[in-house]
Amino acid sequence: MKVFISYNSQDRKLAWQIADALRADFQVWDDTQFFPGDNWAEVIANELRESDAMVILLTPNSVYSPYMNAEVGYALGEQGYKGRVIPVLAAPSEQISQLELEIPWILKKFGIIYLSNLEHDEEGLRNITQALKKAAA
């Protein structure tokens, strides 16, 4: 299964950490696969079409991003993503309750996975992997 990770560019380090953890079981796309001269919008559109699932990284940086909203809108409308949209809330504990108010209600229906320790949350990373494996079954 090919997984697309939707994230804000300011959260790149965390997104790469998640991508690295998922690569043991899945093919994961991230922006390290851009090449000089690539048309960014075209590459993203192609990767969205070719992916089977989406991990949505919800952080203080991404919740208000129009790019994230466009990617999430695509995933919610694309039949191939049905049951394979995995929202992940990653924020310091003191910001979680405020962010939960800002997350689109539809994402809450999928069951949010929480990353509490943004640097080394092995349990959270396992939960993302398990959610994707369950969705693939």
The pLDDT tens digits for 19-64 are 998 999 999 987 777 777 878 778 778 888 888 888 988 888 888 7
Rounded Cα–Cα distance for residues 31 and 43 (Å): 9
pTM for the full predicted model: 0.82
pLDDT above 90 coverage of the chain, percent = 11
**Whether 126 contacts 103, CB under 8 Å:** no
Residues whose CB falls within 8 Å of the CB of residue 116, separated by 6 or more in sequence, listed in order? 93, 124
CA distance 119 to 101: 24
